[in-house]
Amino acid sequence: MHSEKQYIELYEECRGMIKKHSSEVMNTLRDRAFDDFRRMGFPSKKTERYKYTDIDKLFEPNYGLNLKRLDIPVNPYEAFRCDVPNLSTSLYFVVNDAFYTKATPKTHLPEGVIIGSLKTEAEKNPELIAKYYGKLARTEEDAITALNTMLAQDGLLVYVPKNVIVDRAVQVINILRSDVDLMANRRVLIIVEDGAEIKLLFCDHAADDRNFLTTQVIEAYVGNNAGLELYCLEETHAKNVRVSNLFISQESDSRVNHNVITLHNGVTRNRTDLVFNGEGGECSLCGCVIADKNQHVDNNTLIDHKVGHCNSHELYKYVLDDKSTGAFAGRILVRKDAQKTTSYETNQNICVTKEARMYTQPMLEIYADDVKCAHGSTVGQLNDAALFYMRQRGISDKEAKLLLESAFINEVIDRMQLEPLRDRLHHLVEKRFRGELSKCEGCKLCK
Amino acid sequence: MLEIKDLHAKIGDKEILKGINLTINEGETHAIMGPNGSGKSTLSAVLVGNPLYEVTAGEALFHGKNLLEMNPEDRAHEGLFLSFQYPVEIPGVSMTNFMRAAINEKRKYEGKEPLNAADFLKLMREKRKIVELDSKLSNRSVNEGFSGGEKKRNEIFQMAMLEPKLAILDETDSGLDVDALRTVAEGVNKLKTPETSCIVITHYERLLEIIKPDVIHVLYKGRIVKTAGPELAKEIEKRGYDWIKAELGE
C-alpha cells in the first residue's frame, strides 16, 4: 500500500489554496515539509517507532478536507455537553482544526496571556510564532509531523508570558464536526515563558457519527523555572482515528506534568517526545487507557535527558477488553553528560480476555555513569483470588471486576494534580467500565 | 441450617473430600480439627463456592436450598461467610468502598434500598469496635500492608458488618499473638446469637477455650472420622492424632 500518493497529489494540486487560507509563518515551512513527506512516505511497520500501528492503512481511506476553511455550522455550547462540568475552567473550543471565535468566553486571563487561533495570532505576532513554530517538530524526521506541517492551516496558540501564573485551568475542547468523512490537521503551539505557569486540559470529542482522521502536532516550550500541566483526554468513538505528536522541551528547573487519558476511541496513536535542555528539570508522563471491542491505542514516548540533574517519571496503565490492542513503547535516553539523572518508567497492563493483545517495550539507554534509573512492565489478568474474595463477601462478579479495574486505573488518575478533574475521571472511568460510555457522552447524538 | 450429605470434591485430578456428612443446626458451633492436608480448608472452600474446586458427588443444603447450585455471591447473600485463612490483598480498593459494595449488594438481594453514606459510616464505626480495628485501616486498601493480626481482625470486622447466619472461620487463630487471639475470639462471641451458627477450623485448643464449640469433628483423609464433645480438643492437644489413626486401624 502507498497511501501517501493521494496526499502528495492533493498538495501538488491545492498548494495555493492551502497557503491562501493560512498564515505566512505556517506557510514558510510548508514546501519543505512536503519535500520531506514525499521523500519519506508513510512509515511502514518496520519503522522502529511505528511497529505497532499500521499508519499506511489508517491514511488509505478518502477523507474530505476543509482546505477552503468553510465555516462549519456548530454551536458548541448547544452541541456539546462537557464531561468535566464541575471544573472551573476558562473554556475554549476548537472545531476540527479551527479555533472557535464566535463564543467569547467570559474569562479573565492574566494580562498578556493568549489563547487563540494559531493562524490569526501568527498574522498578528509573526515574530513570536516564527521563533518557535516547527523548531521542535522537525519535518525531516517524522512523516506525520511532515504531513501535518504541510497541510495544517490553523489550530491553537497558548502563550503565557514571563512570570505570569494562570491560576484557573484552561480547558480546550476539540470537537470533530462534519457531515462527511473528514480529515483534520490541527496544529498547537504552547509557549510557557520563564517563570510562567499554566494548566491545560484538552478534551477530544466527536460530535458526528462520521469517520474522522485527525493529525495533531503539539509543540510545547517550557522556559526556565516554568510549569506546564497538560492533560489530554480522548472520548471519541469507534470511527475516529487520532494520530498525535507531542513535542516538549524543558529548560532549567522547569516542571512538566503530562497525562494522556484514552477513555473511548477507535484508533489512537500518541507520540510524546520530551527533551531536557536545562538542569533541574522534572517531568511526569502518565497515561491510562481503557479499550474494548476492536479499539487500538499506541503510546510511544521518548524522554531525552540531554543534560544532568533532571528527574523523569513515567507511568502508563492499560486495561484491554474484548479484542482490543494496546501498545506502549517508552525510550529513555540518558546522554553521556547527563549525570545525576533519575528516571523511572513503568508500564502495567491487564488483558481481560484471551483475545486482547498488549505490546510493551520499555527501553533505557544510558551513556552516563552516575544515574538512578529503572524500568519495567507487566502484562497480566485480573487477580482471581481477589475476585473470589470479593464474591464471597457478596459482591457480584461484574461489580468485583469493575472495582479491580477501576482501582488499577486510579493509580494513574490519583497522580493528577488537578483535583476536580481527578474526581470527574474517577466517575468517568467507573462509567466506562460499566459500559455506560459506549459512545462519546459529550456528543449530541447520544443525548 | 446446613446439611451436608456424602460430599465429594476434587482439585485438578486429586480427590480431597471423600464423603463428608455433617449437619449443623441453628445456634450451634462446630469445630473441625484434623491433621494437615486432611481437607478442612477444602471443605470450607467448597461450601462458599471457590471455583478452584469441583464437587463430584453429594449435596449441601443451606436452609433447604441447594447451596452447590448457587454462585458464590448468592451464597454470601443467603448468609454464608468465610473468614479466610489467608485474606487477600486488594491494592487500590479501599476498605470503605469494598464494604459499601458488599453491604449494598446484600441489601439489593434482600430488596432493600442502599444505605446512605452517613448510616453506612456509622455502621462501620460501630462494628469496628467489636474487634478494636484501627479506624485508619478503613481508608487503606483492603488488607494491603495489614499485619497478620490486622488481617484476621479485619475478617471478623467484615463478619460483623455482614451479619451472616453461618460463619466459617478457617484457621482464624493462625499467626495471632495471645492478645490478638483473645480479641478476635471474643469478637466472634459477641456476634453470636441463638439464631447464628459457626464452623471453627483450627489446630489449637486455645481458640476453643474462648469460642466454646458444641461439637468437635476430626477430619482425616477427606472424611469425618470422629465426632465428640468439647473435651475432644483437650485430648488432641495432649495426645495428637495418632491414637485416632490407630482407632481407624492405621
Name the residue with cell 480495628: B133
A394 vs B51, B106, B141: nearest CB = B106
Range of the domain at B77: 2-247
Q: What DSSP letter does each residue of B156-206 carry, written as one string? A: HHHHHHH--SEEEEESTTTT--HHHHHHHHHHHHHH--TT-EEEEE-S-HH
- List the 379-398 stretch of A: residues with Cβ below 8 A of B: 383-386, 388-397
Number of domains in chain B: 1
Contacts 24+ apart (CB under 8 A), A67-74: A67/A14, A67/A17, A67/A18, A67/A21, A67/A153, A68/A17, A68/A21, A69/A21, A69/A98, A69/A153, A69/A154, A72/A96, A72/A98, A72/A177, A72/A178, A74/A100, A74/A175, A74/A177, A74/A207
> Would the ipTM clear 0.90, i.e. be above it?
yes
**In angstroms, rounded to a whole number, what is the distance separating the alpha carbons of residues A104 and A76?**
12
Chain B CB contacts of A404 below 8 Å: 90, 92-93
Q: pLDDT 10s digit of each residue in chain B, 250 long?
A: 999 999 999 999 999 999 999 999 999 999 999 989 899 999 999 999 999 999 999 999 999 999 999 999 999 999 999 999 999 999 989 999 999 999 999 999 999 999 999 999 999 999 998 888 888 887 889 999 998 888 999 999 999 999 999 999 999 888 888 888 888 899 899 999 999 999 999 988 888 989 999 999 999 999 999 999 989 988 898 888 888 888 888 7
Interface with chain B: mutation pick from A378, A392, A412, highest number of B CBs within 10 Å? A392
Rg of the Cα trace of chain B? Answer: 18
Q: Residue A388: CB partners within 8 Å, gap ≥ 6?
A: B50, B51, B72, B88
| One pLDDT digit (tens) per residue for chain A, 447 residues | 589 999 999 999 999 999 999 999 999 999 999 999 999 999 998 999 999 999 999 999 999 998 888 877 776 665 555 555 556 778 888 999 999 887 666 667 899 999 999 999 999 999 999 999 999 999 999 999 999 999 999 999 999 999 999 999 998 989 998 989 999 999 999 999 999 999 999 999 888 889 999 999 999 999 999 999 999 999 999 999 999 999 999 999 999 999 999 999 999 999 999 999 999 999 999 999 999 999 999 999 999 999 999 999 999 999 999 999 999 999 999 999 999 999 999 999 999 999 999 999 999 999 999 999 999 999 999 999 999 999 999 999 999 999 999 999 999 999 998 888 888 888 889 889 988 765 444 443 333
pLDDT of residue A1: 57
Q: Say how far apart CA B248 and CA B250 lie, in whole Å.
A: 6
Find the CB nearest A403 among B77, B97, B106. B97
A392/B81 Cα distance (integer angstroms) = 7
B91 touches chain A (CB under 8 A): yes
Write the residue in A385, A391, A407 that is nearest to B72 by C-beta. Answer: A391
Asked if B82 and A408 come within 8 Å (Cβ–Cβ), the reply is: no
The pLDDT of residue A190: 98
What pLDDT is stored for residue A447 in this prediction? 32
Question: Hey, are the CB atoms on A392 and B93 less than 8 Å from each other?
Answer: no
Q: What is the DSSP letter of B135?
A: G
- CATH number of the domain encompassing residue B237: 3.40.50.300
Of A21, A152, A16, which is closest to residue A97 (Cα–Cα)?
A152
pLDDT of residue A80: 56
Q: What is the SS3 assignment for A355? A: coil
User: Cα separation of A293 and A438, whole Å?
Assistant: 10
Residues A96 and A186 sit within 8 Å (Cβ to Cβ): yes
The three three-digit cell numbers of residue A165, written as one number = 501564573
With beta carbons under 8 A apart, name residues in chain A contacting B50: 388
**What was the pLDDT predicted at A443?**
40
Question: How many interface pairs between A and B have CB atoms less than 8 angstroms apart?
Answer: 74
Is the CB of residue B96 less than 8 Å away from at least one CB of chain A? Answer: no
Residues of B with CB below 8 A from A426's CB? Answer: none
Task: Tell which B residues from 160 to 179 touch A, by Cβ distance under 8 Å.
Answer: 162
A408 touches chain B (CB under 8 A): yes
